[in-house]
Amino acid sequence: MLNPKKGYLKFIVFMAILNKIRQRSLFLILVIAMALFSFVLADLFKNTDGFNSKSQNVIATVNGKDIDRADFQLKVENAQRQFGGSLTATQAMNRVWDQEVNDAVMNAQYDALGLTVERDQMRDLLKLGLTNFEEFKNEDGIYDENKLNEFIANLKAISPQTAILGGSPINYEAWTNYENNMAVSGKQQTYFNMVKAGISGTLAEGELDYKLENDKVDFKYVRIPYTSIADSTITVTKSDISSYISKNKSQYEVDESRDIRFVQFMEEPSLEDETAIQNELIEVLNGKEDNPTTPEVDETVIGFKNATDDEGFLAANSAVKLYNDFIFKSDLPVEHADSIWNLNKGETYGPYKNNNMFMISKIVDVKQIADSVKVRHILIPFAGAVQAAPDVVKTEDEAKATADSILGVVKSNRSKFQDLLTLSSDLVSNQNDGEIEFAYTAGMAPEFKAFAFDNNVRALDVVKTDFGYHVIEILSQGEKQKAIKVGNLAKEIEPSDATVDRVFNETSKFEIAVADRNFAEVASESDYTVKPVSAVKELDEAIPGLGSQRAIVRWAYEDGIKVGDIKRFNIPGGYAIVQLAGINEEGLMSTEKASITALPEIRKQKKAELIKARISGATLEDIAASESQTVQTALAVTMKSPTVSGAGNEPMVVGTAFGLGEGTVSKPIQGNTGVFIVQVTKLTPAPELPNYQAAANRIGTAKATTVDTALLEALKKAAKIEDNRATFY
């Protein structure tokens, strides 16, 4: 029971404290403000990037040289534009990154050596690259440096306007960029040549290489294969794997990575969705008849089968517009070709599935058409025509007048056609007397194609296309055959709203369920497939099974994300519930992952020890008999090609054989496929050569060949690179 006196005393104390707080409200406000300020300061000091402008502006540092973030991003954008959007941001970033690191690494070498490209060398480089340009040739067709100087001076004078070089526009800025690239190429060539000049093959190396290739050994051997011992009888512990990893560190060194697993939920059309789509198509095909019970309203809707304007109907009602040309049977979908081909004009076939659509095909027209044609033509372009050269100045009227004049000459004497080809701008067909042979289905200019197939052999006329005016003569036509014009009433096969809602609900239920339960168990209960992905790097973009998913990779590397954390991601056509399954630090691979490759090797070692311990017998024949094996023979084996007949590649076995004397039996040798005992029957040294310079030269050439690829990689491996890309991409 409460004591009223104690309750009253507590109330008095509380009121006194409250009064003190009111009297010192200003003091309390200051205390709270200081606490908030210290909280913000602590966060800033914890994240030192808040005070470090460099971290916000530097994408990377290579050998002490910063790569500016803004400049880097501009180059990435330019790379994407250059490839017409075919590169993702990450792909473009990686392409630019490789170039920037290469430049930084090589520039450090150039600076250390004082390498520059002087004026004379630059002129030589330009001459090498520009010799074939007509703009820089004199009257005799020889490269003239004065022409180059005039061109550069003119470019500078008209900047930023462009001039034509090799048929393409170029301005002064683009030219200076070209010169800079040539200078960089010149320095790299000089540097690599300097390195190559210091590489050679010695006579000793030449002699050794010659002997490795030509010394031969014959031997007999017994092989006890590892398969003679069942894997199930060999015990491999974690300690064994750890020991193996330690002895073979180079094989198991890994970069930092993440392991994930995911379940996909795809918004795929159901059987009900597909049936509904087919029914919709059938309704559009049949149309709607007028309801006689409502005479005041005309409810007639013309269907596809009764439409007279097929092109307009399909434009308004189909996912596929009318292909307003004729096709042959071979152009139809294989599985439906017979059904469509046998229709009469106006008849329909379908609905049928074709790729991601349901279609109803209607025969719009039937015609007899040659499958191919051979013509010859003379092309007279005009200024602005497609692929017209920059020096074409004729107007359309002038080009037509020229073509009409040529037509008049050829009509009166067709033998003149070939003589007049010098006036044609089609350099490709000119090499074949102006002749072109093409199939009806080839992608030719529509007007050109129509004339060639709609007229008879020997027809001759002027035809205008986007390329200019053509004087065309039909030389021959293939055999005429049936062709059809097909209209396809099509609708994409897409999930319905109900299906989309169902997939969303299933995804949400799974996401909630795995929040506090085992990911794999929940997936198994619903028959969902869990897809694991191992060793995802920080700058990876593609996730196997999901495609380009940079957002997933960034999430997996976020601060605070722990193993077991789960997140939903939108993916093309659905969702993915992703779980972080592992965080792999840089260093040596875990025993679990290393076991995939380590286990077979450890078993092999243990089997080898067991086999060695049980081998008995003084001769090969005795050993073979005790192990139920046979004595085999290997002839003319070399160190360069250590292949043992009947056993495969066995360098340890062949190396041991070369170290034995004739008649000597070896100790047991652990090979790739089993334990070997060999007995050398014959050693055949290679004939001595007067000198080994030729072999030495081959070695020197082989070494120099590797410089172009190995040198840059070695420099990059030795460089100190601070990579901040993951912060921005």
Residue-wise pLDDT for 306-362, tens only, equals 999 999 999 999 999 999 889 999 999 999 999 999 999 999 999 999 999 999 999
Proportion of the chain in helix, strand, coil states, percent, rounded to 5: 50, 20, 30
Decide: residue 721, CB within 10 A, 0-12 exposed, 13-18 middle, 19+ buried.
middle
Identify the pLDDT of residue 54: 55
Q: What is the pLDDT of residue 32?
A: 39
- Report helix angle 238-247 to 591-614, nearest 10: 90
- The stretches of 198-237 forming alpha helices (DSSP H) are 203-214
Residues 648-669 have a mean pLDDT of 96
In the chain, pLDDT over 70 holds for what percent of residues?
Answer: 92
Give the mean pLDDT of 239-258: 93
Report the topology of domain 372-478: Chitinase A; domain 3 (3.10.50)
pLDDT at 138: 86
Q: What is the pLDDT of residues 392-432, one digit of tens each?
A: 889 999 999 999 999 999 999 999 999 999 999 998 899 89
Per-residue pLDDT tens for 166-221? 878 888 988 898 888 888 888 988 999 899 888 899 999 999 999 999 999 999 99
Q: Which tokens sit at 138?
A: 């004199």
What is residue 71's three-state secondary structure? helix
Question: What distance in Å separates the CA atoms of residue 360 and residue 230, rounded to the nearest whole number?
Answer: 62
Mean pLDDT over 531-537 rounds to: 94
Rg (CA), the chain: 40
pLDDT at position 30 is 46
pLDDT at residue number 123:
87
Residue 641: is its pLDDT beyond 50? yes
Lowest mean pLDDT among 22-36, 86-100, 487-501: 22-36
- Region 224-232: what's the mean pLDDT? 96
The yes-or-no verdict on residue 501 having pLDDT over 80 is yes
State residue 55's pLDDT score: 61
Alpha-carbon span 286 to 307, nearest angstrom:
10
pLDDT value for 41: 40
pLDDT confidence of 64, banded at 50, 70, 90?
confident
* pLDDT tens-digit series, residues 423-479: 999 988 998 999 999 999 888 999 999 999 999 999 999 999 999 999 999 999 998
Give, in words, the CATH class of 257-268+496-585: alpha beta
Confidence of residue 286 (pLDDT cuts 50, 70, 90): very high
pLDDT at 141 over 50: yes
Mean pLDDT of the 65-84 span:
88
Residue 532 CA to residue 255 CA, distance in Å, equals: 19
d(CA 323, CA 325): 6
Mean pLDDT across 583-608 = 93
Does the pLDDT value for residue 19 go beyond 60? no
Domain borders along the chain are: 4-46, 119-197, 216-252+592-684, 257-268+496-585, 271-368, 372-478
* pLDDT of the residue at 405: 95
Residue 548 φ then ψ, to 5°? -75, 110
pLDDT over threshold 60, residue 16: no
Separation between Cα atoms, residue 306 and residue 304, nearest integer Å: 5
* Domain 257-268+496-585 identical in fold to domain 372-478: yes
Residue 163: is its pLDDT beyond 50?
yes
Distance CA 284, CA 28 (A): 76
4 — pLDDT class (breaks 50, 70, 90): very low
Report, as an integer, the average pLDDT of 270-279: 96
Write the burial class of residue 716 (CB in 10 Å: 0-12 exposed, 13-18 middle, 19+ buried): middle
In whole angstroms, give the CA distance from residue 571 to residue 231: 43
Residue range 574-587: mean pLDDT, rounded: 94
Whether omega before 160 lies within 30 degrees of 0, making that bond cis, reads: yes
pLDDT band at 484, cuts 50/70/90?
Answer: very high
| Percentage of residues in the chain having pLDDT higher than 90 | 66
The mean of the pLDDT values for the chain is 89
Burial class (CB in 10 A: 0-12, 13-18, 19+), 30: exposed
Whether 683 has a pLDDT exceeding 70, the answer reads: yes
Judged against a pLDDT cut of 50, whether residue 40 lies above it is answered with: no
CATH of 216-252+592-684 given 3.10.50, 1.10.10, 1.25.40, 3.40.50: 3.10.50
Residue the block writes with tokens 């966060």: 43
Q: Which amino acid is at 709?
A: T
Confidence of residue 5 (pLDDT cuts 50, 70, 90): very low
Q: Is the pLDDT of residue 248 over 90?
A: yes
What is the spatial distance between Cα 545 and Cα 529, in angstroms, rounded to a whole number? 12
Q: Are 412 and 405 in contact (CB under 8 A)?
A: no
Average pLDDT over residues 11-33: 43
| pLDDT over threshold 50, residue 139 | yes
pLDDT of residue 528 exceeding 90: yes
pLDDT of residue 618: 87
Burial label for 429, CB within 10 Å (0-12, 13-18, 19+), is middle
Q: From CA 468, how far away is CA 425, in angstroms rounded?
A: 10
Cβ contacts of 589 within 8 Å, gap of 6 or more:
245, 252, 253, 254
Torsion angles phi and psi, residue 55, rounded to 5? -65, -25
**How much is the average pLDDT of 543-563?**
94
- Please report the pLDDT score of residue 132 as a whole number: 86
pTM of the model: 0.66
